[in-house]
Structure 1
């Protein structure tokens, strides 16, 4: 029996994690749930899974939840302090970091320091502070098991001798605009960008998928997770989202992991590793399927090239790019800027940043704050 804390339980990955728990009651127990401000859903989850602790980042939401759960023994906590308490608790074996954005960095470091295993669904954690996180994991000898479908695929394809890997090939669906001419992107609406062809995800990651910044973030994440040089990490557009990623070895052999576009599969694998649990989820049927692969168009999706550039430069630049992107996407979701303005703003903020090499946590957080403020000023 593994006892878990789920950060971001009301989000898309968090909800699917609880679905995995629902089908794995003999293997998993929930110690704590944490979310931002969706009180109604958090109450439903808390009553269904009976965690010892429920955390809301928003102070008002925490007070409301406390009133709603007054008839239960569930302890309600608030803010980052509450989240940190749930990830370092003695009862917890594994922390599922499904919380969205750079905010996942601090609890991930705290969980590793406390000797917890990490099921990582928060790619921004490694983008902003990958060197710190991987160093902490190595120092504490604790595993970071990827939950992103692409990185889970790579992880499952790895052999015991990773030094024989030649290339990591991350696949991308291409999002809703893969076949749309570049000239037509000027007229993209919020509704267009939120209409992903294959995956059901949260709003922020769906927009990132449309711009392909999501794949850029995953390239940086793969660099840290698998200690792979950027020159040996490739991206291929695979519209069917069946081959989740591939690993090519130096003898030319290519191993691929295939599955339906269902996040519950990599979530369960991260929680069951090194074993595999049976589940009732729909199986992949390849009969009649056609699998196609294409080179990404970086002129139409310049965010991918920008992410490679930021990753190669390193220091505080990936954190700045990530923060600027989070702020710009938020503005787009609030209809304050156009779709094409997202990349324009992020690229400008990155070009203005004075990169600090080998940053500690404080410097990363300062760079993050500066980027968000700069985006606000430019808007």
Structure 2
């Protein structure tokens, strides 16, 4: 195999670190051309030393300026954003891993597409809000798109060229830390309990989204866009062990199930080494003990009311997706800052998405990525102006 050139956006986050863990074993076969972080330039430097990376992107301008002094005598090129990096580095990359969280990941994703053969993304917000722009640009530059999230990667792996035969897709949800908590106990649930995911090690934001099941709502929207399927085709099923990641039911009577341990390194390994038979994740066999007692549960929409959003709204690349993502981001931030309770967070979101101030945009379409950012800013400004509604 020739040396693969890889760029990692968000290398200090969980997806980035998982990617580097995979690459660590194969450093002689892979060249990392660039790493990026929002603020964590000291961690970025440690990564650059370990993997001999000469180009780094620090997107928070305050920390970019700090890092310039820090890197002054270290023979490393520092850039404030992807576009500045691309001005100096125009050669096609084999693979870009997008591990940035939030809508901040949309613009770099769009900008990098012409310069990579393969784009693998775990950035939910950019897919949910800007899929039509990602898809259009990827098609124009013949860039392959591969989803990283375990559920979407599993579906992508299972369907091959049989998309027209799909009858139903089930995305599995662990149920998070609150699955077995009685609803009456959720009133005073604390942050520590909410972010203590039983199966996955994740950041506070995504752990909160998992506990509320908003994460799974987002994944259904993502899947409908990535695979061009009606949302009615995609269902959520609770599977507490989290070893089954997706189930695809076909019209020919076949049902395919994808199982792997709860590690994001497995999808990432298979993305990096797809179409090669020279490398193996590691010697493994089936752990039958973990497979025994697999159970699937219909999600409780009273405990997880966000799931009802999937029945009520149509996802057709309007401003609705951006408004939903932004409201959720702001409310999760308030919850994690102890400004509102977990239940209040849920009630407010379900209330806000019905406000006329937002619903009037649900049949309007963003014309470009900048429109998406403008709408996100409008939503934040509205919520800030009306802070009294949080009390």
Q: TM-score range by the shorter chain?
A: over 0.9
Report the counterpart of residue 126 of structure 2 in structure 1: 125
Report the counterpart of residue 137 of structure 1 in structure 2: 138
Larger radius of gyration: 2
Map 1:307-322; keep pairs closer than 5 Å: 307=310, 309-312=312-315, 314-322=317-325
Give CA-to-partner distance per residue, 1:201-242, whole Å, 9 cap, x none. Answer: 111111110001000110011011111100100110000011
Gap change, CA 1:114 and 1:311, over 3 Å in 2: farther
Report the counterpart of residue 331 of structure 1 in structure 2: 334
Gap change, CA 1:275 and 1:222, over 3 Å in 2: farther
Q: Are the aligned partners of 1:11 and 1:98 in contact in 2 as well (CA < 8 Å)?
A: yes
Report the counterpart of residue 294 of structure 1 in structure 2: 297
Separation (CA, whole Å) in 1 of partners of 2:11 and 2:105? 13
Secondary structure of the residue aligned to 1:312 is coil
Of 5, 8, 16, the match for 2:7: 5
Separation (CA, whole Å) in 2 of partners of 1:305 and 1:153? 24
Output the aligned Cα RMSD.
2.1
Report the counterpart of residue 103 of structure 2 in structure 1: 102
Deviation at 1:2, TM superposition (A): 1.8
Report the counterpart of residue 343 of structure 2 in structure 1: 340
Q: Are the aligned partners of 1:260 and 1:284 in contact in 2 as well (CA < 8 Å)?
A: no
Deviation at 1:310, TM superposition (A): 4.0
Secondary structure of the residue aligned to 1:29 is strand
Separation (CA, whole Å) in 2 of partners of 1:82 and 1:290? 52
Secondary structure of the residue aligned to 2:380 is helix
Secondary structure of the residue aligned to 1:6 is strand
Deviation at 1:374, TM superposition (A): 2.7
Gap change, CA 1:275 and 1:225, over 3 Å in 2: farther
Give the TM-score of the pair, scaled to structure 2.
0.90
Q: Are the aligned partners of 1:170 and 1:245 in contact in 2 as well (CA < 8 Å)?
A: yes
Gaps of 5+ in 1: none
Separation (CA, whole Å) in 2 of partners of 1:246 and 1:254? 7
Gap change, CA 1:359 and 1:281, over 3 Å in 2: farther
Give CA-to-partner distance per residue, 1:6-50, whole Å, 9 cap, x none. Answer: 111111111111111112224322111111112331121121112
Of 49, 52, 55, the match for 1:53: 55
Q: Are the aligned partners of 1:307 and 1:318 in contact in 2 as well (CA < 8 Å)?
A: no
Moved more, 311-320 or 264-273: 311-320
Map 1:1-379; keep pairs closer than 5 Å: 1-79=3-81, 81-82=83-84, 89-275=90-276, 277-280=279-282, 284-287=286-289, 289-307=292-310, 309-312=312-315, 314-352=317-355, 353=358, 354=360, 355-361=362-368, 362-376=370-384, 377-378=386-387, 379=390
Gap change, CA 1:85 and 1:170, over 3 Å in 2: farther
Separation (CA, whole Å) in 1 of partners of 2:212 and 2:259? 24
Separation (CA, whole Å) in 2 of partners of 1:168 and 1:216? 14
Give CA-to-partner distance per residue, 1:177-207, whole Å, 9 cap, x none. Answer: 0111222111111101110000011111111
Deviation at 1:298, TM superposition (A): 1.5
Q: Are the aligned partners of 2:172 and 2:246 in contact in 1 as well (CA < 8 Å)?
A: yes
Q: Are the aligned partners of 2:269 and 2:281 in contact in 1 as well (CA < 8 Å)?
A: no
Deviation at 1:74, TM superposition (A): 1.3
Give CA-to-partner distance per residue, 1:79-111, whole Å, 9 cap, x none. Answer: 46446669x742522211100011111111122
Deviation at 1:51, TM superposition (A): 1.6
Gaps of 5+ in 2: none
Secondary structure of the residue aligned to 2:318 is coil
Gap change, CA 1:42 and 1:187, over 3 Å in 2: same
Q: Are the aligned partners of 2:175 and 2:238 in contact in 1 as well (CA < 8 Å)?
A: yes
Give the TM-score of the pair, scaled to structure 1.
0.93
Separation (CA, whole Å) in 2 of partners of 1:115 and 1:75? 20
Moved more, 294-303 or 278-287: 278-287
